[in-house]
Amino acid sequence: MKIKLILKGVAVYYAKAAVFTIASYGLLRLVYGHTGISFIEWTLILLAAFTVAYIPLFVGLLRGKSS
């Protein structure tokens, strides 16, 4: 049961990250026109940033603390 809760939390977190990635790249293109970075590069950068930012929360979930 705890594993399902953790997996659900991780899935929701990365779903939010995906929505933010798409919206921020769209806004970047809208404001600046042509960007020097591709969507794939932008996605990988934000995925890495969101993963690093999520590590403390993930460790808390594994230890049984809820946020």
Please tell me the distance from the alpha carbon of residue 28 to that of residue 23, in angstroms, as a whole number: 9
CA atoms 10, 16, 22, 24: torsion sign:
negative
- Domain of 27 in residue numbering reads as 2-63
Residues 30-64 have pLDDT tens digits of 999 888 899 999 999 999 998 888 888 777 777 77
Q: Which residue has the higher pLDDT, 57 or 28?
A: 28
Residue 19 has pLDDT above 90, yes or no: yes
| Structural domains counted in the chain | 1
Please tell me the distance from the alpha carbon of residue 6 to that of residue 4, in angstroms, as a whole number: 5
- pTM, whole model, 2 decimals? 0.72
